[in-house]
Amino acid sequence: MFIISLTNNDRMKKYLFLSALLLLVSVAVHAQNLSLDLKDVPVREVIETLQRELGFSFVIKTNEIDLDRKVSVSVKDADINTILSQVLSGQKVTFTVDGQTVQVYKAEKPLEKETAVAAPPVVQVPQHVVRGRVTDPAGEPLIGCIVVPGKVSTKAVTTDLDGNYSVSVPKNGTLEFSYIGSHTIVEEVAGRNVINVVLRQKVESLDAVMVVGYGSTSKRLVSSSIASVSLDEIEKGADIDPVKALQGRVTGMSVSSSSGIPGTAPRVIIRGVSSISGNSSPLYVVDGIPAESYPNVNANDIESMEVLKDASATAIYGSRANSGVILITTKSGHKGNTRVQAGIYGGGAMVSHDIIMANTAEYTNVMGVAVDNYNAQQNALETLYVPENPADFDWMAAVSRKIALRSGASVSVSGGDAKTRFYSSVGYENEQGYLNTTGFKKVTGRVKLSHDITKWLEMNINTSIAYGRYDMVEETDGSLKILRAAREEQPWYTPVYEDNSWRVMSSGGLARHNPVMIIAEEDYYVNKYQLQGTVSAVFKPFKGFKYTPSLSGYSIYDKTIKKLTENNLERGYKDGWAALSEQKDNSFRYVFDNIVQYDNKWSELTFSILGGHSFEKYEYETFGAKSDNYTNEAFPSSSFNLITAGTSIYPGSIGYNAYALESWFSRMALNWADRYILNLSFRADGSSRFPEDNRYGFFPAGSLAWIVSNEKFFPVNPVATELKLRASAGQTGSMNGISNWAAMSLVAAGSPYNGSSGMRITQTAQNIRWEKASKFDFGADVEFFSGRMNLGTDVFYSVTEGLLYPRPVVSTTGYTSLTSNIGTMDNFGVEATLGGRIFDGPVKWDLSGNFSWSRNRLLSLLDKTPIIIVENAKLYGGNKHALIVGKPVSAWYMLRMDGIYQYDSDVPEKLYAKGVRAGDVKYYDLDNNGDIDDNDRVYCGKATPDFFGGVTSNLSWKGLELNVFCQYSVGGKVFSAWKGCGMEGTESLGLSSGSVTTDKGKSVVQYYNVSKKAATEYWRGPGTSNSMPRPVITGLHTGWDYDYNILTSTRYLEDASYFRIKNITLAYNFPGRWLEKAHVSGLRIYATVDNAYTFTKHEGYDPEASMSAGPASATYATDFGYEPMMRSFLFGLDIKF
Amino acid sequence: MKKLLLVFAAAIAASACSSMIDDIAPKNYIKAETLSQEDIGKLCNGMRYKMESVVKSIWYRGDWLSENFTSGPGFDVADVHAETQSAASSIALSDWRTLFTTLNEVNELLRRSSGIDGVKAKEALGNAYFFRAWIYYNLVIRFGGVPILKSPTMDVVPFSKEEDVWAFIITDLQEAINVLPEHYSIYYPGKDAAKLLLARVYLWRGRNSDAASLAEEVIKSRHVLNNTAEDFAKMFIYGTENQEIVLALANIRSTGYNLIYDSVNDVDGSWNYSPAPKYYGSLYQDTPFHSGDIRKEATFSEADATRLIKFPNGGTGMNQFIVNAKASNSPLVMFRLADAYLIRAEALGPESGLKVLKEFMEHRYSSVTLPSSMGEKEYQNLILDENNREFFGEGRRWFDIKRTGRTDLYDTWNGRDFLLYWPIPQKERDIAGKDVYPQNNGYSD
């Protein structure tokens, strides 16, 4: 007999009493003969007493438990189960007892006292003992799974540490297996003695914890539009960029890869184009700290990502939330056994859709035709120079990799004891690019520590480091552009002469810079170091109150080095192209947050009030220097690695930038009986970017949710088990895309004359104000068949006013554009996601899909002209985008190609006079004046898609899993600048040329190579082609900037719609029983194909290609022909201890 | 608990940092409010620095459009004359924008230096008048009538008639001549530079006697004509003090170079312009009037027909006619004594001009035998030829042709529907409104 009796106000007595009794404990503990008499004691104390005095160990796996709740318990001769069910009654938890170990879990419904205290029922029906094991699909045991014998009630049991259970039940009875976060399964006993069950995690549980701005809540209580993705859901292939992994999985979120240049960040747009300056990129918040740019986080460290979409969710981030917010939460350690996870992968990647160039025979033929066409029309006698013994060289093969290797590894260790939790990890990735020598390596590390100093004070430290090395080539450079040069080089030359010396442009006969030489004779890389750390404390002086001060520092240091060798015959000797240059950029940002939160309940009302203040300062400095080049031995040798080896040192880029942001914010969340949920938030932001009078922006928001299924009138039915309706409205802001100094009149130095210093007034202050969006959202979340199927839909509308943009002004003002608030834009959209379990037997099949449609429209712009042409160099396709009132941002505005003139008689008179003939492009003549110029440009669709989404399929059988993930995008258009337009391109057909000196010293004109398609499908007579014009050399067409056939037009505009089998992963999870002996708790091997196949009409490498991220920028959705995204094959292994 | 609240209050107070927002300021700029009268000299230097890049950016226009040049290696163009013949023309837009944005800066300097005393202020004022006149001169010879801005403004200013623009230029130059010092360095504008520009303006306006007398004033100043190829070439090298130069912009800087040679003589094999073959073969050939032009070997390369060796070639000036110690800092020669002689000779006409022309030619040729009289047209041909020999590669030719109306000198122009006034750039018209910025005759509205 063991008796504990204590009340709150006689602790001394309690301890004396317990001490005395300790002597008596010994064997008594296991017996069901504990007696307890408690009045008004916190749960915490009871548990501590049981731990300390009786040797029970408690593992508490939920935050739901209220340890400060006062309880009174009085039992006699009870077992530990009975005691705990009394102590914890009324709380949404459940527990299991295994020997001396007690585990407490979160439960769907409050624990009922009665079931536990009630005496064991008298069993009327013959009982039958069933044993079995409950595991997850990976074969891991589920500990504490509740097994309830149905119909005739006997006592429920829970599974033990190995997932085993044993229960009495009638032979014809049922067993209901339920586990937190998993689907409940009911099995007919049907006379069986052993029933093993696999429980599968719910795809989306309404009880899942969801991170929101400056806090967290359960999904059930979310009243705004937030998508939560746990990285476990993303079937790990490897090689995942965490944000890229969200592509096709979150409604309303468009993620696309601009190019395959290693280490390039994707473009992300949430709920349509939010801005016409800047890149419409969302705000990333990593562990509560807003990141300056695209976050560099090891995917394996991520616990969950939340995409905040509507104003109610984002307005707490105020001034930077116009484009949505992505919250990234990293993993933390938990009390218990130390867990080790490790993974490695490796594989290769290759071009998935190549662009084939003409070979020497095709090239020679088509250029001959171009010259012939010229001669015929001009009555001239031009000839095509063809070298003696022409080679047939594949320049692309010479600069690219057939197979680019990929590999990676990661290890994490986590754990904790009663007071301290930790998580630490190291990750490594290595990726070769398509072009020779390009690549990207990344090493990341993270340490998270959390320590309870006292009951009311917790300290947290979270630090991460990342090192990235980007090996680059002159690819995006407008002058060298290696990849394009390689394609368009004459195939009849090789990169070297017989003596192995480099052939160079112009004097070596090449029409383009020698890309093989440039790659070989240059070392060009960036090292990026990032260090981030947060120190925070949580004060909990009394129940429900929490004060969290935190200080975060974020530091980025980039070092760019470019080194040419003496053998770089084109660049090594050019003034300004230093032999060695070095550039160092560093930025430092700190954020100081103070947040106070109070949570409590009053009757049926649960409420949470939050208030905070945040100050943030960012500073950036860049500093660089360069040496001489190799002329006159100014730089002695490329063996030197420091610029001081040169005779002179010159400044590189030197600059400074900074901003500061001070914010006050508050939020109130009210929940009445889990039926009505109201969230109100308010933020005030003051930014140094705006003039003092307009410095502060105010961003209010509110949302309301109604959980209809919790109403009494909602019929209990097996179909729709949960129904929630949401509505929200609010305002957010943007200060994106404008200079930190736009609001100041500035004088610059650095303008000396004849050796004497000088200053210039370079900027006039602009009276700008915040760009503000008012957003509205209506949504419904429905759960069918107890979570077997989920449907979520949202309809949203937003209006953005005061759009910040470099407004074009007449140059008599001294400027060609001035940053101003110039217009209004709106977005309307619908999103839906549907998912469910199709097969639920030994073979399981989950299928889910989502759909996002949105419409963007500019409502107003400048007064005088409802259109702003977005200017762009010819090389990048010329002017092809425009901001047009009534049309979407990213609108294409150019000449429309209506085919090819098939007969000379079809050509209008004015064009005929300017040299246009049959075989030339036929453009739409808008003003019908018989001539073609800029006045004939028309709206030609837009770059952003109408709708997009993804489909995920998970098929599993025993330990085998097959995951297929597909994406689609419909309605966007991409401009293929690599094909031509301007002076070069793979379809220029004789119009791109240069004067070069042949090996014999003769000056001749040489033409760029064209694609095999252009070289074989060109127009050669009526009816032969209606899309590819005749080859001609320059001079036939007069009166246009470059030439008639290559004007910026829909000739180069392609449908970017696609359906892509993005990822196929086949994995095998070794069964637990095989692993136990090796003390391994999980082992998974997998093979994955990424970017498997794309169905598209687009002819380039990838329909997602874009030179820039901002939808209103001149080169948006412009495919310049950068390195392609490749198809990769990877094999990997993950292991857990 | 009290302690805790204190900590909390202290933390909030410490982080309430509104004043820190106001303190955010750039490091490489100062706020314009902080400028004082003391800074006027530095602002004047800043304007001259800006002028260097302006002069460079429009440098080759007159050569390119007049077929003095052809495409260089790695560059090809279908129709050079199309480049100014449409309202969408990038050349017209680029020059318009360059000149007008600079005008704003010059006007700002003029505003700040007006009405204050001191040598620096006076120098700034004189420079501002001079460069404003030079900017408007370049605008009017391209576009005709343009908006006249006497001070900085954000408003859209309507067009003035061409003759009003010319009158405005003349007023500015007269102010400049009043305010500027006598010539004190070839790198700073003095009275003589302003007189030369005004003489040229008078030539455009047909006020030949005014042009001739102003030119004569400059001829009588202390400048000296070069006699040899080497001396001629020395005008175009770093640090030159050649006394023929009336005004050159120093172009001395360590970053953001103005490399006039990156368009004609780059070393990477892809420069834009080369001498047109017809001139390479014939420009400096001997004629019955003169022989042994000293400028030939200082201008064209014996070895390479695609290069112009008057200016530096590449980083070290390796192919320039004479050694240039710092090619990237080569001066931008705007006016020289040759201008004065050629303006005066043209203004005086064959009757009295031949003597002036002969005096000039004797410095440039080994032998000169001019007749005692000549017909107007023949004389004009001679003057135009002499101008092109002298200023080949210095952006003058097309404007000489336009001024004299001698499009007949070009086979490819004659008989062609070619407009000598450049179009008003469509982009500027789109912003200002078509009514406020009317288009020049001949272009579609």
Contact residues on chain B for A1043, CB-CB shorter than 8 A: 78
Higher pLDDT, A959 or A1011: A1011
Cβ pair A946, A971 in contact under 8 A:
yes
Please name which of A250, A246, A252 lies closest in space to residue A272, comparing C-alpha atoms.
A252
Amino acid letter for position A527: N
Identify the burial level of A875 via C-beta atoms within 10 angstroms of its C-beta, where 0-12 means exposed, 13-18 middle and 19 or more buried. middle
Q: In B, residues 214-253, which contact A (CB 8 Å cutoff)?
A: 250, 252-253
Contact residues on chain B for A873, CB-CB shorter than 8 A: none
d(CA B369, CA B287): 10
Cβ pair A936, A925 in contact under 8 A:
yes
Q: Report CB contact under 8 Å: A865, B157.
A: no
Cβ pair A1045, A1032 in contact under 8 A:
yes
Identify the burial level of A748 via C-beta atoms within 10 angstroms of its C-beta, where 0-12 means exposed, 13-18 middle and 19 or more buried. middle
Contact residues on chain A for B21, CB-CB shorter than 8 A: 660-662, 686-688, 695
Instruction: Give A479 to chain B, closest Cα distance, Å.
Output: 10
DSSP element (H, E) containing B69: strand B69-71
Instruction: Give B42 to chain A, closest Cα distance, Å.
Output: 4
Give pLDDT, residue B169: 98
Dihedral sign computed on CA atoms, order A1006, A1010, A1016, A1018: negative
Alpha-helical (H) ranges within A27-132 are 43-54, 80-87, 113-117
d(CA A206, CA A185): 18
Distances in Å between the alpha carbon of A21 and those of A3, A89, A110, B133? 8, 27, 33, 107
Three-class secondary structure of residue A1082 per DSSP: strand
Higher pLDDT, A398 or B84: A398
Give pLDDT, residue B3: 60
DSSP secondary structure of B143-195: HSS-B--SS--SSPPPB--HHHHHHHHHHHHHHHHHHSPSP--TTS--HHHHH
Q: Check if B415 contacts A (Cβ < 8 Å).
A: no
Residues of chain B with pLDDT under 50: 315
Three-class secondary structure of residue B238 per DSSP: coil
Give pLDDT, residue A462: 95
DSSP element (H, E) containing B392: none
Lowest mean pLDDT, pick from A152-161, A377-386, A515-524: A152-161
Residue A793 above 90 pLDDT?
yes
DSSP secondary structure of A1104-1124: T--SBS-TTSTTBTB---PPP
Q: Check if B9 contacts A (Cβ < 8 Å).
A: no
Q: Report CB contact under 8 Å: B45, A507.
A: no
Residue A117 above 70 pLDDT?
no
Cβ pair A246, A451 in contact under 8 A:
no
pTM of the model: 0.81
Contact residues on chain A for B20, CB-CB shorter than 8 A: 615, 617, 660, 662
Higher pLDDT, A377 or A258: A377
If you search the block for the tokens 């045991």, which residue do you land on? A141
Token pair recorded at residue A722: 């949960």
Mean pLDDT of A425-442: 94
Three-state SS letters, A267-287: EEEECCCCCCCCCCCCEEEEC
Mean pLDDT of A414-437: 93
Q: Which of A761, A809, A1044 to mutate to test the interface with B (most CBs of B within 10 A)?
A: A761
Instruction: Give A824 to chain B, closest Cα distance, Å.
Output: 19
Tally C-beta pairs within 8 A across A and B: 294
Instruction: Give B14 to chain A, closest Cα distance, Å.
Output: 10
d(CA A1025, CA A1077): 70
Which residue from B21, B90, B257 is facing A662, i.e. has the nearest CB?
B21
Mean pLDDT of A474-493: 90
d(CA A784, CA B79): 70
CA-nearest residue to B74 within chain A is A994
Q: Report CB contact under 8 Å: A1039, B86.
A: yes
Q: Check if B4 contacts A (Cβ < 8 Å).
A: yes
Contact residues on chain A for B153, CB-CB shorter than 8 A: 812-813
Instruction: Give A569 to chain B, closest Cα distance, Å.
Output: 8
Instruction: Give A477 to chain B, closest Cα distance, Å.
Output: 15
Cβ pair B298, B312 in contact under 8 A:
no
Give pLDDT, residue A208: 64
Cβ pair B439, B145 in contact under 8 A:
no
Give pLDDT, residue B78: 54
Mean pLDDT of A817-827: 91
Instruction: Give B340 to chain A, closest Cα distance, Å.
Output: 25
Instruction: Give B24 to chain A, closest Cα distance, Å.
Output: 6
Token pair recorded at residue B421: 């006034």
CA-nearest residue to A592 within chain B is B15
Three-class secondary structure of residue B355 per DSSP: helix
Neighbours of A129 (CB within 10 A): 9
Contact residues on chain A for B18, CB-CB shorter than 8 A: 662, 686
Q: Which of B8, B31, B49, B318 to mutate to test the interface with A (most CBs of A within 10 A)?
A: B49
Cβ pair A294, A243 in contact under 8 A:
yes
| Residue A6: pLDDT band with limits 50, 70, 90 | very low
Q: Report CB contact under 8 Å: B45, A763.
A: no
pLDDT, one tens digit per residue, over A308-334 is 888 888 888 888 888 889 999 998 888
Q: Report CB contact under 8 Å: A594, B71.
A: no
Residue A151 above 90 pLDDT?
no
Contact residues on chain A for B1, CB-CB shorter than 8 A: 541
d(CA A48, CA A38): 14
Contact residues on chain B for A763, CB-CB shorter than 8 A: 29
Which residue from B20, B46, B315 is facing A760, i.e. has the nearest CB?
B46
Q: Report CB contact under 8 Å: B39, A759.
A: yes
| Residue A153: pLDDT band with limits 50, 70, 90 | very low
Residue A580 above 80 pLDDT?
yes
User: Strands A157-158 and A960-970, how do they pair?
Assistant: unpaired
Q: Report CB contact under 8 Å: B17, A935.
A: no
pLDDT, one tens digit per residue, over A754-781 is 999 999 999 988 888 889 999 999 999 9
Please name which of A794, A852, A802, A846 lies closest in space to residue A824, comparing C-alpha atoms.
A802
Number of residues that make up chain A = 1137
d(CA B383, CA B395): 16
pLDDT, one tens digit per residue, over A865-903 is 788 889 888 889 889 999 999 999 999 999 999 999 999
Distances in Å between the alpha carbon of A22 and those of A2, A8, A50? 9, 20, 12
Mean pLDDT of A941-947: 94
Contact residues on chain B for A1003, CB-CB shorter than 8 A: 305-306
d(CA B44, CA B37): 12
Q: Report CB contact under 8 Å: A994, B74.
A: yes
* Secondary structure E strands in A628-675: 649-651, 655-672
Q: Report CB contact under 8 Å: A747, B18.
A: no
pLDDT, one tens digit per residue, over A976-991 is 999 987 778 999 999 8
Contact residues on chain A for B108, CB-CB shorter than 8 A: 761, 814
Q: In B, residues 247-266, which contact A (CB 8 Å cutoff)?
A: 250, 252-255, 257, 259, 266
Residue A411 above 90 pLDDT?
yes
Contact residues on chain B for A992, CB-CB shorter than 8 A: 76
Lowest mean pLDDT, pick from A29-33, A453-457, A810-814: A29-33
Give pLDDT, residue A223: 79
> What values do phi and psi take at A468, rounded to 5?
-130, 140
Q: Report CB contact under 8 Å: B101, A815.
A: yes
* Secondary structure E strands in A472-511: none
Mean pLDDT of A528-546: 93
Contact residues on chain B for A761, CB-CB shorter than 8 A: 32, 35, 43, 46, 105, 108
Mean pLDDT of A593-611: 90
| Residue A274: pLDDT band with limits 50, 70, 90 | confident
Cβ pair A1049, A938 in contact under 8 A:
no
Cβ pair A771, A274 in contact under 8 A:
no
DSSP element (H, E) containing A696: strand A696-707
Q: Check if B28 contacts A (Cβ < 8 Å).
A: yes
Mean pLDDT of A1091-1096: 94
Q: Report CB contact under 8 Å: A995, B71.
A: yes
Average of per-residue pLDDT values in chain A? 85
d(CA B278, CA B150): 44
Please report the ipTM that was assigned to this predicted complex: 0.91
Cβ pair A599, A552 in contact under 8 A:
no
Measured between its terminal Cα atoms, the distance across chain A in Å is 41
Neighbours of A952 (CB within 10 A): 23
Give pLDDT, residue A8: 42
Token pair recorded at residue B337: 């004594």
Contact residues on chain B for A745, CB-CB shorter than 8 A: 31-33
d(CA A954, CA A934): 52
Residue A395 above 80 pLDDT?
yes
Instruction: Give B324 to chain A, closest Cα distance, Å.
Output: 13
Percent share of chain A, pLDDT over 70: 90
| Residue A150: pLDDT band with limits 50, 70, 90 | low
